[in-house]
Structure 1
């Protein structure tokens, strides 16, 4: 059994039965049979069911958001916002998937015709994340289902009820049995899923777990997609509207309690605007409301995982021991719940864990730099490469810096955002493969080459 704990109250919400090894194997067998029929189902019929799922998600958005908030601490109104944006993402997939499924006639040289068709992978495993369960999950299971695959979905143990709710909505939408199965549980369930002879495995989570999954799948040549850690930098140049930049970057650092895959995790500020930036950053942070996730005024709820509190405390203490100072002294809030108030440190450098290791919480280090070159060197000085942002009024200056940043996504005067029009992809220890955009649709397809020779010619 899995105990679902409310991180705001530390109360057990529900006990959930987890599948046995035999249950996981049975789920796979059902998925294999269902996928064969689903692959032969016309696209418009598949799309009709996904459209019905989308409508049910919209209709039940408040209920779904409340479930998510109760088990991972996100303010309800922000969870509703995530669902609304997910609906737009589903719309994009519905509109754009057909063109990616279409066969291509690439060469006609009588008597030969050469074509490419695209077929589903088959049965895929999807070990998803808790921080944005609708976003992160739908990046995989929506295009996977639309392109004819079956999905064995393991929700994070910190968004289990959300995962079960998604499965219920698919069932209500009329998705045939076996095509989307939620397998709740902890690492043992993930290991059981990873041991299956899958046709694809897609994981969002820590680098270490992703590394183990990649090693497991390598022997089978399984297609693997990994969205792993990040230590995303932001650079504030000397020509910005300082207040706007400070507030944008602070929101990028603290939204969702800093528990975003592309959250700003380290900040570099040009010396000419450093002091002014700190003043605006501190003022904005002081205005943030931390509290009950059910309250519409709340900006930030608790962190989702109790164990993360110690990681945050340890990173802050490591920096203080090495000479950093508080700009904003937050820290663990007394009382019930896993609340950690926004914390910002100055006097930081790359000898400190807060500037090197993933934090995934509402703590941030702000480092002064003397030039663009120094900022660039520091931004690239990390094992991760998910996103990076540059804040300047000069587009040409931004582009020159962004070209040299070794990350899958680059931002100019924005941060902490994802678009279905663009691929979501990491470099270095941030992962491999892509979701979203046309690339993310093709991710769930495999090409077949056709050599067609007319007889008697």
Structure 2
């Protein structure tokens, strides 16, 4: 029997507004029904026979039993992989990878187009499955299926340009070019909160780029993973090129121990860290999309009504179970009270019911159930002990048939509280007052995570300041909780490494190869040419010619090249990094060692350090060294 043990006792939360929730005091335990095994018809994957045998007590070792988090009822039994079946799937993919790589790209694209059409035709059934096993409200589940179509179209439209070989340079004697090749056999270990988005962010570009995929969906979204598999097979994707792997943590560990060529994981920081440590020394490609502690700053110039509506949805959509859900809100003190009051009213207006299949329902249950509930209770209770104010919600809902948690707003928080440091991943958001953009930026970055950051302001200067200071992979202005297939999705710090989506999200599934081709005969490769990545930079001789033509060459004077290519006497205010050096005919920059002879004066040392660093470069060769003291200094 499952139960929720209350970690919070002897505390009466001050809930100024809110849905009726069970008391921290009066209910020390919440009872969840016993798990019983379903009685579904067996298929090649689903089975209920093992749970009826004398060894049924061991069924969790060989079977998954998805539970509907809205009702705590079992859905079906799924036969999971063993080390033997997993090895067989890897062997099939490994033996097929060269054949799949050599399938024409046009044929692969046609398969993915058919897959896209299958998703559209089966939207209702796939969304219903997603709602049943994760508790995602049916409208949001349908939106996920529909919205992924744009991502698939983006991959289809851009795969050719990414895979096209690029000729960098051609001369009468040789040619240099770049080609991209598949990574090989990759493991895609996906998450349950957006199984269609997250799964297909990897599966589609990986298959188009010529990789074979071993796809491990979360045990909380295995049925949705099977739906993806069926649509791919119906579209003509060979089973050897895409295979699903079912199971819990032990299966993921076994998958990582195989000689795979790349790992693409989305999930928690703790699991991502474990994966990275497991792969240490393997020298294989890895992309890790991990957790977040996403923050929003609301400046006093913001359109408050619009900002509140947007942030409320960004915090509570998908019941707050999104990697980029808003978890921390920082508001200028001058509008703080008004913002909190309006935020409470907007969140209270969102439809809450115990039926996620109702199209009007906005909030669903917590997919992971008991562990998530206990995690949120611990953080909320700890904050209240330290002076936080419970503005809304705060606990599980009374008489709930499943894992339903009241939407919660906690104010008067500070960074000494765990709730401001740990990822929440539920319908909980905190609000903290700040003195202005500088303090907001400091607090927003006071986290090991770095997924997204947002700023709401009518002042572009404030928006630019926050965007520049934000140590995150994504920054929003007057928006939050938004993902676009046209931009890379990446994190910093504990939010992961690598990227999905955007052009970078396609390149991520390739390995680059440089080709140096020496011609057997003159003009073998045709007319000499340079690609756009080769920039012709004026060499030192031409610089001297320019100096003469501009009549700025003065005997005994030092001249330095600035970032814009101009020649001027050095002044501290003018120094900017040089963007490039000669790429034609010079393998390495020319260094005049006499420039670095020791001098006693501090200003001379300063200039010399700048010369060493490459921020400026001496270009007058008539006199190899002229005392720096002759240089004008502002």
Query: How does the TM-score come out when normalised to structure 1?
Result: 0.99
Aligned partner of residue 341 in structure 1, secondary structure: coil
Aligned counterpart for 1:399 among listed residues 449, 464, 470: 464
The CA deviation at 1:408 is: 0.4
Paired residue for 1:315? 379
- Choose between structure 1 and 2 for higher RCO, CA contacts under 8 A separated by at least 6 residues: 1
Q: Does 1:180 align with 2:245?
A: no
Whichever structure has more strand as a proportion of its residues is: 1
User: How do 1:100-179 residues align onto structure 2 when only pairs under 5 Å count?
Assistant: 100-179=162-241
Shifted more, 355-364 versus 210-219: the winner is 210-219
Q: How does 1:189-208 map to 2 (within 5 A)?
A: 189-208=251-270
Give a deviation string over 1:90-147, Cα, whole Å, max 9, x none: 0010001110000000011221001111100000000001101111111111000000
Q: Which residue of 2 aligns with 1:259?
A: 321
- Aligned equivalent of 1:299, options 362, 375, 400: 362
Distance 1:43 1:309 in 2: 47
Q: Give the distance between the partners of 2:437 and 2:140, measured in 1 at CA.
A: 35
- 1:98 maps to which of 145, 149, 160: 160
Aligned match of 2:107: 45
CA RMSD of aligned residues (A): 0.9
Counting only pairs closer than 5 Å after superposition, residues 4-403 of structure 1 correspond to structure 2 as 4-291=66-353, 292-306=355-369, 307-334=371-398, 335-403=400-468
Separation in 2, partners of 1:384, 1:195? 28
| Conserved? CA contact 1:354–1:364, under 8 Å | no
Which sections of structure 2, spanning at least 5 residues, go unmatched?
A: 1-62, 523-634
Q: Is the 8 A contact 2:380 2:394 kept in 1?
A: no
CA distance in 1, matches of 2:454, 2:320: 16
Match of 2:493 in 1: 428
Q: Distance in 2 between matches of 1:267 and 1:212?
A: 30
Q: Secondary structure at the match of 2:361?
A: coil
Structure 2 CA distance for aligned equivalents of residues 289 and 312 of structure 1 = 21
Q: 1:395 & 1:422 partners in 2: Cα distance? A: 22
Which residue pairs with 1:413 in the alignment? 478
1:364, CA displacement in angstroms?
A: 1.1
Instruction: Specify the SS of the correspondent of 2:264.
Output: strand
Q: Distance in 1 between matches of 2:517 and 2:393?
A: 70
SS at match of 1:240: coil
Shift of 1:34: 2.1
Paired with 2:438 and 2:182, the residues of 1 have a C-alpha distance of 46
Q: Deviations over 1:347-374 (max 9, x none)?
A: 1001111111000001111001111111
CA distance in 1, matches of 2:461, 2:118: 45
Q: Summarize deviations over 1:271-318 as a string: whole Å, max 9, x none.
A: 111111112101101111122110011001101011101001111001
- Tell me how far apart the structure 2 counterparts of residues 375 and 447 of structure 1 sit (CA, whole Å): 41
Distance (whole Å) between structure 1 residues aligned to residue 491 and residue 317 of structure 2: 21
Q: Offset of 1:75 from its aligned partner?
A: 0.7
CA contact (8 A) 1:271 1:370 kept: yes
Is the helix fraction higher in 1 or 2?
1
User: Matched residues in 1 for 2:256 and 2:329: separation?
Assistant: 37
Cα-to-partner distance string for 1:74-101 (whole Å, 9 max, x where unaligned): 0111111011110111001000111000
Aligned match of 1:454: 519
Where 2:447 maps in the other structure, the secondary structure is coil
CA distance in 2, matches of 1:390, 1:39: 44
- Per the normalisation by structure 2, the TM-score is 0.71
- The answer as to whether partners of 2:377 and 2:394 remain within 8 angstroms in 1 is no
Match of 1:357, SS state, is coil
Report the Cα offset of residue 158 of structure 1. 0.7
